[in-house]
Amino acid sequence: MATMTVRQAPIPSSSTSSAPSPPRKKRANSRQQAWHDGADKHQGGKASKKGRAGGVKKDPPPLIRKVGLAAQIYGIQGVMGTVLWFQGWREWLYPPDGGPDIVKAYECRPGMGVRIFFPKSFDQTSPNTLPTIISIHGGGFCVGTSRDDDEWNRRVADTQGMLVISLPYSKAPRAPFPAGLNDLEALYLAVLADESLPIDRTSSPSKSRRGGRSRGLKGRVALAGFDAGANLAMALSQLPAVRSSLSAAAPSAVVSICGILDLARPVEAKMTGRPYKQGLSYPRSGTMDMLANTYSAYTWSYVPYGQDLRDPCLSPAFAGWDVDDGGEAQQGDGALPPHVCLVGAELDMLAHESWRMACRLVQEGGIRRGDGRRARWRVPDPDAGGDKAQSVCGREQLGAVKGALEMEDLSVSAREDEDGLGARKRFGFEVTWPDGGEEEGDGDGSVRWILVPDVMHGFDRTLWRAGGEETVRDAELKTVAYVDALGKWLRDTGLTLTSTVDLLAPGVSMPRLGFGIYRVQPSETVDAVLAALEAGYRHIDSAQLYNNEAELGQAIRKSGVARKDVFLTTKIRYPGLNKAKTWKKVVDSVRKVSGAEVSTGKKRKRIEDEEVAEKKGDAGEEYVDLFLVHTPYGGPNAKKERKEMWLALERALEEGKAKAIGVSNYKVEHLEEMREYAKVWPPHVNQIQLNPWTQQREVDAYCQKHGIVVQAFSPLARGDRWDEPIVLEIADKYGKSPAQVLIRYALQKGWVPLPKSEKPARMKANAEVFDFEIDGVDMERLDGLDGKKMGYFEDGRLEK
């Protein structure tokens, strides 16, 4: 483990020595008002009529109470300080396994070490970037260090393939709110400005490969925190310097684990409003009382007198959206990142708090969205308790789950059930919504709530585990389960690992990993595409030659995935012998792929289900994202046919029936020939066969020189080369399958691979290729396999 100090230019801070200002005062809608009125009732006040005007202030306690709280908090700090001193001394003598790879100190906070964890499979000399989690430790704002979460941070780094950076902060009561938040803001911006770290920065400018790190996948930075650290993580995500669209630091997701989210709600209300009643023996039955007995001392030392307890930077439960006088949603100072995940422990008095916030975020669209629309799916009343709340999370009986965890997301079709939650899932729910449009600041949003059953507050840290071997093992297994669920959620939302590549067509980006449906029978296409979408693919490749375009369109309609969230490609195989017939072939493909026709045996019928289209927001839209000329080869009039097909695609581009156009199987001479007749040149894409045995280096280099994106069909070489010793050795080295190595190879070559499989398990495995990097030596070994396979036969017939 290395320790170093980094000097840098001062970074301006958006927070000050005084408390951050609350959101702008606007007229709240009825459900938002109910949330604040509920807090008023718990504070002993009256329901307000005009939102949170005036707020809820912290008043000084009686002198005796003040002395008691001070004695309690300083006593806790003394005991914990002694424990930490001995722990640090022991670690100095016997460095533990699983600690950070690097500890850095930055000039903005020279006395605070930032702990950095690289995935074990990551080459730190690589120019590649990683999805990044910035973690913040807990401790009630008053105790603890970032060392406390080393086990969790190491687990996430190694199992999820993410860079984890743990930030420290000053503790109350010597440094009350917002001092710790100021520390975190300064360190966050310093870390994001540190070019030596392989952070995948949001909105950072691209860099050449000759200087600095190459830009990786877009927007893969998230904040995460535990109990008090969760409060600080959500507060940090709201600060203007952090969330500004002009900043390279804007996180795309925030995660709360057993978070303290509402300091306006007194501990008595947290206890009585808790819907999950335990009937277990000590120590788990007493852990809630232990937290309750220290909670008041923690919050007393952290919150200054006169502070508005509903300030969203103090109580993130109040962060989100406000509504102006015209009823339109406006972004306030308390805007959260687009994706929010809240994890609660069932035997924790804070569990209900996380559920209430998740419900409110869904009800009010309390995520930065940009268009003011509300989520369509209704969720239960956040203030519900008892049986009503238990029916929501589907909890049947306590202690029923040991060493396992059911946290299935809602199926798409279930979201339209009566209460918006669909079939009862036992321990959580998720609601997502599409982006709000093309304006800057819009984007997908989601809320994920996870209830980890039958465990106490802080169960995922060794210090809090107790109760015998079975209880400890149970907590360990559930830590693994919820970390895996959290990692999947991050990959699917805020830290999505399917990056995009920009095409020459204005405003068009294509997912870097696609799914091909070549040789998939029409009768099997719908199921295959639905399975691919379920596995996370958002780029599907079809063609007229495959005879399954209509089934592809049907699958997209059936999936519930918005059309604009999927990138669909098709290809024209032969011209129609005249311009009119060629154009008709283009239009027919567009209608089929857009779902305007559905296969019913040999007949085709028009879809008239406008209700389905309206729900998906795509009513009346018929287009393909990418239309290609399938092959340059044909009969004696091949050159004329190529021209005729290309001019038809140019018309499709002009009329909006295709967002981008390109070619397939074109060699350099075919691309050069296009200059004679093409208005749109160079083509946006060239799809050719590419894998280690067929690298077509001349064509690839030509395309790269002219900005033509190269798609790779048959990246797996149809599986007939997987037993190649070099491939097997490399697969064993990285703990991956041969197929995953070949797909990763294609990605690192700059290609867009289109693997094919009809087995859901293999589809899913083929998509899990963004958590490792093939080093330079192994890439050269794979490069050396070139020359054993061609992309098409000598007579010009397509091999695929």
pLDDT at 625 over 80: yes
Same domain, 730 and 591: yes
- By C-alpha distance, which of 427, 441, 418, 400 is closest to 344? 427
pLDDT of residue 39: 41
For residues 556-571, average pLDDT: 86
pLDDT of residue 51: 36
pLDDT of residue 702: 94
Same domain, 65 and 173: yes
Q: Strand order in 661-664's β-sheet?
A: 515-516, 539-541, 567-572, 626-629, 661-664, 685-689, 709-713, 752-754
Residues 458/392, Cβ–Cβ less than 8 Å: no
Same domain, 191 and 150: yes
Q: Position 326: which residue type? A: G
pLDDT in tens, 518-545: 888 988 999 999 989 888 888 999 999 9
The residue with greater pLDDT, 477 or 208, is 477
Q: Band of the pLDDT at 380, cuts 50, 70, 90?
A: very low
pLDDT at 1 over 60: no
Tokens linked to 37: 């009125």
pLDDT of residue 170: 94
Position 513 in a domain:
yes
pLDDT at 746 over 80: yes
Q: How far apart are CA 380 and CA 644, in angstroms?
A: 58
Specify the CATH number for the domain of residue 721. 3.20.20.100
pLDDT at 388 over 60: no
Tokens linked to 489: 């959620």
Specify the CATH number for the domain of residue 272. 3.40.50.1820
Q: How far apart are CA 384 and CA 391, in angstroms?
A: 10
The residue with greater pLDDT, 109 or 559, is 109
Q: How far apart are CA 203 and CA 245, in angstroms?
A: 8
Range list of H helices, 655-791: 668-673, 697-706, 725-734, 738-748, 760-767, 776-783
Cα dist from 460 to 166, 345, 427, whole Å: 16, 10, 17
> Which three-class secondary structure state does DSSP give residue 6?
strand
Position 159 in a domain:
yes
> Considering the chain, what percentage of its residues have pLDDT values greater than 90?
27
pLDDT of residue 282: 57
**What ranges make up the beta strands (E) of 503-563?**
509-511, 515-516, 539-541
Same domain, 142 and 225: yes
pLDDT in tens, 132-165: 999 999 888 888 888 888 888 998 888 887 899 9
pLDDT of residue 231: 94
pLDDT, mean over the chain: 73
For residues 261-277, average pLDDT: 74
Of the listed ranges 68-72, 360-364, 661-665, the one predicted with least confidence = 360-364
For residues 716-723, average pLDDT: 81
Cα dist from 247 to 222, 365, 373, whole Å: 14, 24, 26
pLDDT of residue 250: 77
Catalytic residues: 546, 630
Q: Position 167: which residue type? A: L
The residue with greater pLDDT, 727 or 277, is 727
Same domain, 240 and 344: yes
Position 440 in a domain:
no
CA atoms within 13 A of residue 227's CA, in its CB half-sphere: 25
Q: Band of the pLDDT at 324, cuts 50, 70, 90?
A: very low
Structural domains counted in the chain: 2
Same domain, 470 and 576: no
Bond before 506 cis per omega within 30 degrees: no
pLDDT in tens, 183-204: 999 999 999 889 889 887 643 3
Instruction: Characterize 81-104 residue by residue with b for buried, 16 or more Cβ atoms within 10 angstroms of its Cβ, and e for exposed.
Output: eeeeeeeeeeeeeeeeeebbbbbb
> Considering the chain, what percentage of its residues have pLDDT values greater than 70?
66
Tokens linked to 62: 């009686």
Residues 225/257, Cβ–Cβ less than 8 Å: yes
pLDDT at 433 over 80: no
Q: Band of the pLDDT at 45, cuts 50, 70, 90?
A: very low
pLDDT of residue 186: 95
pLDDT in tens, 606-616: 444 444 444 44
Same domain, 464 and 531: no
Same domain, 232 and 364: yes
Compute the radius of gyration of the chain from its Cα atoms. 28
pLDDT at 12 over 50: no
Same domain, 669 and 704: yes
Of 79-88, 411-420, 551-560, highest mean pLDDT: 551-560
Same domain, 566 and 488: no
pLDDT in tens, 664-713: 999 999 999 999 999 999 999 999 999 999 999 999 999 988 989 999 99
> Would you mind telling me the total number of residues written for the chain in this entry?
800
Position 435 in a domain:
no
For residues 87-92, average pLDDT: 72
Cα dist from 262 to 39, 234, 319, 483, 598, whole Å: 9, 12, 10, 24, 51
**What ranges make up the beta strands (E) of 7-140?**
102-106, 109-117, 132-136
Sign of CA dihedral 493, 494, 499, 502: positive
pLDDT at 421 over 70: no
Helices 760-767, 522-534: crossing angle, 10 deg rounding: 40
Of the listed ranges 35-39, 261-265, 449-453, the one predicted with least confidence = 35-39
Position 20 in a domain:
no
The residue with greater pLDDT, 358 or 596, is 358
Task: Count the Cβ atoms, other than its own, within 10 Å of residue 29.
Answer: 17
Position 395 in a domain:
no
- The domain of 704 spans 500-783
Helix (H) or strand (E) holding 121: none
Q: How far apart are CA 364 and CA 375, in angstroms?
A: 7
Q: Band of the pLDDT at 438, cuts 50, 70, 90?
A: very low
For β-strands 709-713 and 685-689, DSSP reports them as parallel
- By C-alpha distance, which of 140, 134, 223, 177 is closest to 16? 177
Tokens linked to 147: 């060392």
pLDDT of residue 166: 96
Q: How far apart are CA 140 and CA 576, in angstroms?
A: 72
Task: Count the Cβ atoms, other than its own, within 10 Å of residue 283.
Answer: 15
Residue with tokens 């449009």: 437
Same domain, 234 and 264: yes
Range list of H helices, 197-275: 228-238, 240-243, 267-272
> Which three-class secondary structure state does DSSP give residue 434?
coil
Position 362 in a domain:
yes
Instruction: For 619-684, give the secondary structure using H, E and C.
Output: CCCCCECEEEECCCCCCCCHHHHHHHHHHHHHHHHHCCCECCEEEECCCHHHHHHHHHCCCCCCCC
Position 799 in a domain:
no
Same domain, 467 and 507: no
